[in-house]
Amino acid sequence: DTAVSQTPKYLVTQMGNDKSIKCEQNLGHDTMYWYKQDSKKFLKIMFSYNNKELIINETVPNRFSPKSPDKAHLNLHINSLELGDSAVYFCASSPGQETTNEKLFFGSGTQLSVL
């Protein structure tokens, strides 16, 4: 079983559209993240949720709205897509904030291409 799974793997869409990426983890972790990896392969945090509550929001445009229906899921909805949104989006999870074992486990990524 895949520990952190995200769908879709590839997403090609037109500028101005709205799209969602889904993420699920079966590790029982409390904390989930969204990272963006740009064309230069630089990985940057976007959001972090702990037990369904937003704890990190790194100056991401409000066109990006994460939603966590439960602690095993963290979905990312993007409104009015722009060319600059093209990137690989990674979901990740870790046990939680209160443990020293904070290894991150990553999904395999969603390649978003905005045309």
Partner 1 sequence: KQEVTQIPAALSVPEGENLVLNCSFTDSAIYNLQWFRQDPGKGLTSLLLIQSSQREQTSGRLNASLDKSSGRSTLYIAASQPGDSATYLCAVRYQAGTALIFGKGTTLSVSS
**What is the binding site for partner 1 (CB under 8 A)?**
4, 33, 40-45, 48, 50, 55-56, 58, 90, 92, 97-98, 100-109
Q: Which residue lies nearer to partner 1 by CB, 79 or 112?
A: 112
Report the nearest approach of partner 1 to the CB of residue 80 (Å): 25
Q: Which residue lies nearer to partner 1 by CB, 70 or 98?
A: 98
Report the nearest approach of partner 1 to the CB of residue 63 (Å): 20
| Cβ contacts of 4-9, under 8 Å, gap ≥ 24 | 4/91, 4/92, 4/93, 4/105, 4/106, 4/107, 5/107, 5/108, 6/89, 6/90, 6/91, 6/107, 6/108, 6/109, 6/110, 7/110, 8/110, 9/108, 9/109, 9/110, 9/111
Q: Which residue lies nearer to partner 1 by CB, 52 or 109?
A: 109
